[in-house]
């Protein structure tokens, strides 16, 4: 997502964290904010919905070490500074960062939250980007867009495009177009159910593709023939490899194709048994039975309420968390004291200590 947003938006300020925040604290802060501003908790509140999207965008960048490093480097260049694309625009003024990117690839802007790379790496490196304008990136003025490279650029001196283009496909038959990489960010629910996204192509066009249900964080999807066009007429275009980042959910987690959730139960429910409601990802609830004497940490399984994929459907795994009351009425206190007296002489830690010493 290397675009003007990285100059304009302070992702640290959006999340309310310091620039040296560690991954654990970052995740904790994100989950708190996501839970507070989630659309399910603020129905009809457009401001909360936008805030939720901003929080997700900020976390998606800062939680990825590679993107965070690139973002910090961009911000260090001057915060709100903009690249200019030279004269030619209205009033002789150049465009912003995205205009420079567009001139390099023949497009006019790009889809939100999408960045392009050229090879196995993730995204365009800033040094490579600047090298394209300083003579070190391998670009040479071409004779027009007819060579298959938009904007009149063509490979110079065997260097190819900056960022990893290597002339792949020049071996036998017609030259093949280069493979490219793109990235997009989905929220947890969209990743589970599947989603449709629109991406910008290197030649300035747009493609719409369906992200399959159950896509995982960091998964790469191959889009055949959606990469750079062939440098010569009749050659095959390259492929696009789409890397998907998934933002965490404030309530649910994932274990393979199983959904996970922590389920609070009272002490009496755990001790005496009960039937309780468990939330599901679609917003409904299901009832599960808590057996008498259920301890914290026991996992209750709800069949078929996990992540549905072409290879099968997972389960919903509810991990019991026994809640200790913070305040007790006089009657409740007497009851607990009576329970303690009944337990006199029983030490649940005796076996633990014996095994630790042995």
Burial class (CB within 10 angstroms; exposed 0-12, middle 13-18, buried 19+) of 274: middle
What is the CATH code of the structural domain delimited by 1-81?
A: 1.10.287.110
Enumerate the domain spans of the chain.
1-81, 106-166+175-248, 253-345
Quickly state the pLDDT bin for 4 (edges 50, 70, 90).
Answer: low
C-alpha R_g of the chain: 27
Quickly state the pLDDT bin for 252 (edges 50, 70, 90).
Answer: very high
- In whole numbers, what is the pLDDT of the chain averaged over residues? 76
What's the pLDDT score for residue 67? 85
User: Hey, do 106-166+175-248 and 253-345 end up sharing a CATH topology, with the first three levels equal?
Assistant: yes
What is the CATH code of the structural domain delimited by 106-166+175-248?
A: 2.60.260.20
| Residues 135-163, mean pLDDT to the nearest whole number | 37
Task: State the Cα–Cα distance between residues 27 and 249, nearest whole angstrom.
Answer: 11
The H or E element spanning position 279 is strand 274-279
Q: Is the model's pLDDT at 82 over the cut of 60? A: no
Per residue in 196-213, pLDDT (tens digit) is: 998 887 777 888 999 989
Task: State the Cα–Cα distance between residues 106 and 63, nearest whole angstrom.
Answer: 31
Among 182-191, 229-238, 248-257, which is the least confidently predicted range? 229-238
Q: Determine how many CB atoms are found less than 10 A away from the CB of residue 320.
A: 20
The distance between the two most distant Cα atoms of the chain, rounded to a whole number of Å, is 92
CATH number of this structure's domain 253-345, picked from the four choices 1.10.3720.10, 3.40.50.720, 1.10.645.10, 2.60.260.20: 2.60.260.20
What's the pLDDT score for residue 176? 87
In the chain, the N- to C-terminal Cα span, in Å, equals 56
Q: Which of 4, 156, 171, 146 is nearest to 75 (CA)?
A: 4
Q: Is the model's pLDDT at 168 over the cut of 70? A: no
Task: State the Cα–Cα distance between residues 282 and 271, nearest whole angstrom.
Answer: 30
């Amino acid at each position: 997502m290397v675009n003007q947003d990285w100059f304009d938006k302070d992702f640290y300020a959006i999340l309310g964290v310091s620039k040296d925040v560690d991954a654990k604290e970052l995740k904790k802060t994100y989950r708190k904010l996501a839970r507070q501003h989630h659309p399910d908790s603020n129905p009809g509140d457009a401001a909360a919905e936008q805030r939720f999207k901003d929080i997700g965008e900020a976390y998606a960048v800062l939680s990825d070490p590679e993107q965070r490093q690139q973002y910090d480097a961009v911000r260090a260049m001057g915060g709100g500074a903009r690249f200019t694309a030279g004269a030619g625009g209205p009033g002789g003024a150049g465009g912003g960062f995205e205009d420079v990117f567009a001139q390099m690839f023949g497009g006019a802007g790009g889809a939100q939250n999408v960045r392009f790379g050229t090879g196995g790496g993730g995204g365009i490196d800033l040094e490579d980007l600047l090298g394209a304008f300083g003579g070190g990136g391998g670009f040479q003025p071409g004779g027009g867009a007819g060579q298959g490279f938009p904007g009149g650029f063509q490979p110079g001196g065997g260097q190819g495009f900056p960022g990893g283009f290597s002339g792949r496909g020049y071996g036998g038959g017609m030259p093949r177009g280069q493979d490219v990489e793109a990235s997009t960010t989905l929220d947890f629910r969209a990743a589970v159910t599947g989603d449709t996204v629109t991406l910008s192509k290197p030649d300035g066009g747009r493609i719409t593709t369906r992200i399959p249900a159950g896509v995982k964080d960091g998964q790469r999807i191959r889009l055949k023939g959606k990469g750079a066009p062939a440098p010569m007429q009749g050659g095959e275009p390259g492929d696009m490899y789409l890397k998907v980042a998934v933002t965490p959910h404030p309530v649910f987690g994932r274990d393979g194709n199983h959904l996970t959730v922590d389920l609070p139960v009272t002490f009496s429910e755990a001790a005496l048994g009960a039937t309780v409601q468990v939330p599901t990802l679609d917003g409904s609830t299901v009832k599960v039975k808590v057996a008498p004497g259920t301890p914290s940490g026991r996992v209750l399984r709800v069949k078929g309420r996990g992540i549905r994929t072409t290879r099968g459907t997972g389960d919903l795994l509810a991990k019991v968390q026994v809640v200790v009351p913070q305040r007790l009425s006089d009657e409740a206190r007497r009851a607990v004291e009576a329970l303690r007296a009944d337990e006199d002489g029983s030490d649940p830690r005796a076996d633990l200590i014996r095994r630790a010493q042995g």
